[in-house]
Structure 1
Amino acid sequence: MTLQRPLSLITGASSGIGAEFARQLAARGHDLVLTARRTDRLETLAGELREQHGSQVSVLPHDLADPSAPKWLHDTLEQRGLQVDWLINNAGYGVPGTFEANDWSVHADFLQVLLTAPTELAWRLLPGMRRRGHGRVVNVASLAGHVPAPAGHTLYAASKAYLIKFSQALALENQPHGVNVCALCPGFTWSEFHDVTRTRDKMDKLPGFMWLSAREVVRQGIVAVERGDAVHIPGRVNRFIKTFVQLLPDRLALWLSARESKRYRNTGI
């Protein structure tokens, strides 16, 4: 890696928003470290970015459900003499059904990937950014973290709300040192997410104006973190939803969330 090119570490880089972050940052002249579970997809993406943008791309496959993964990633980067300038904490997924419908091991893995791993990666990589006087951290949260949580996918909204508050605190702590931190909070985004959660048939019934492409979500996220926004919600519709819900009494907002969520949640109730 050359010192002139920023280096970005992207988790969950094999598809969707993570892969799009890789493409757009490579187009901006970044070198990349890509991590996810699916090695074949990472290697395919790495080849694409090397050919199209001349980026140097390191592929470090790992499952962030493994508690040792963040330290392993950090130590591997140090051994290779790589200093991370941008951290994109993107890895995530949903667990369909109600809380008691899944084994604890399923929830433990989810919490490790969605909460512990991004928190630890930030803890391990922020000191270097602060010493160098420049860095960017994007924690991919969700509009779900701003609105009442529905039944089903019980831990998803809670984990995203955590990332939002975590990002706000980190932004205040690190901006004086040249490091910007942003919670990116997309709403419905075209990706494989709903195929994995087996809700694609329900999601396809939602009107098109409620959706954004991963390309647009990432474009806005990069602009927002460069601008110094601690939280950014892409899309006017999503920002309206967040503002509208906050103006409602809590009981009414929760009732509305419960009614509307039946369109796109597999609750298992």
Structure 2
Amino acid sequence: MPRTGRTALITGASAGIGAAFARHLAAEGNNLVLVARREDRLTALAEELTTRHHVRCDVVAADLADRHAPRAIMERTQALGIDIDVLVNNAGMSGNSTFADAPFDALSAEIQVMITAVTELAHRTVPGMKERGYGRIINLSSLAAFMPPAASLLYTGIKSYVLDVSQALDMELRPHGIHVTALCPGFTHSEFHDVMGTRDAATAKLPSVLWQNPEDVAREGWRAVNAGKPVCIPGFVNKVTAAAVKPIPTRFGYYLGRTFNPFKH
């Protein structure tokens, strides 16, 4: 593939959907900035993609639970002389204990990684995208954003925030050549369930038709953001599930939010 000359910053790039995005975008000729906590994995992935696709891959080891991390990441890209044209906010985490029993530091880390860092990285990359008249932002939401709240979990509320804010940003930024998509996968084969300690239970309870591969999720998400779709629910079963539990169709809700915004100047 010919190089695009564009650069994508991907958080949570060391495994799962993040690594799948890295491989997919590198195959299309995009340069990459790979962000995650595990520098050894990032370095191995960067070497693989540089060798295979002849793209530039820079590695930034950072823990997005640290409130200073988003600023440090962007300062690093500026020092390297890199403009971010594509942002994939993929990093995620979830607690596996009840709200009352969880230490607040753990709850705060969830909010920092999946709300604050997502919002700050978008805020820091958008000005440059506006100047260049091009940008693509994919924020990892979840099928859980369409579901009723689950007992003890912040996860559904956090992913609902990502879903709503992504659509709001797309409404604002689309005239500047920037597309924003909330990518809402269902159950995906990745390390996420290993970290939560729920892989065995989830695999045993759920039929295989409900599971997707990270590569399919990344491919569909990238296609959606380039097509200007503010919400992407990958997989037929997931689309049916979301439609069954969401009374207002996604596209109609987007239209209402764009057209009847009482706070719009």
Counterpart in the other structure of 1:135: 135
Aligned-residue sequence identity (percent) comes to 47
Counterpart in the other structure of 1:74: 74
The AA in structure 2 aligned to 1:173 is E
The SS at the match of 1:181 is: strand
Contact 2:32/2:57 (<8 A) preserved: yes
The SS at the match of 2:246 is: helix
CA-CA distance at 1:81 after TM superposition: 1.1
Counterpart in the other structure of 1:50: 50
CA distance in 2, matches of 1:185, 1:198: 21
The SS at the match of 1:241 is: helix
- C-alpha change, 1:5 and 1:114, in structure 2 (3 Å) is same
Provide the alpha-carbon RMSD of the alignment: 1.2
CA distance in 1, matches of 2:244, 2:22: 33
CA distance in 2, matches of 1:4, 1:78: 20
CA-CA distance at 1:68 after TM superposition: 0.6
Contact 2:4/2:29 (<8 A) preserved: no
CA distance in 1, matches of 2:86, 2:242: 28
The AA in structure 1 aligned to 2:185 is P
Counterpart in the other structure of 2:178: 179
Contact 2:188/2:213 (<8 A) preserved: yes
> When the two structures are superposed, what TM-score results if normalisation uses the length of structure 1?
0.89
Counterpart in the other structure of 2:38: 38
Alignment of 1:9-20 (within 5 A): 9-20=9-20
Indicate yes or no: 2:62 matched with 1:62: yes
CA distance in 1, matches of 2:139, 2:246: 22
Alignment of 1:80-229 (within 5 A): 80-152=80-152, 154-205=153-204, 206-229=206-229
The SS at the match of 1:51 is: helix
CA distance in 2, matches of 1:187, 1:230: 17
CA-CA distance at 1:77 after TM superposition: 1.1
The AA in structure 2 aligned to 1:188 is F
The SS at the match of 2:139 is: strand
Name the count of aligned residue pairs.
245
Runs of 4+ in 1 over 2 A off after TM superposition: none
Higher relative contact order (CA 8 A, sep 6+): 1
The SS at the match of 1:136 is: strand
CA-CA distance at 1:247 after TM superposition: 4.4
> When the two structures are superposed, what TM-score results if normalisation uses the length of structure 2?
0.90
CA-CA distance at 1:243 after TM superposition: 1.1
| Structure 1: gaps (5+ residues) | 249-269
The AA in structure 1 aligned to 2:18 is G
The SS at the match of 1:41 is: helix
User: Mean alpha-carbon deviation: is it higher for 22-31 or for 72-81?
Assistant: 72-81
Counterpart in the other structure of 2:253: none
Q: Deviations over 1:70-93 (max 9, x none)?
A: 111111111221100000000001
The SS at the match of 1:10 is: strand
The AA in structure 1 aligned to 2:90 is N
CA distance in 2, matches of 1:5, 1:160: 32
- C-alpha change, 1:124 and 1:211, in structure 2 (3 Å) is same
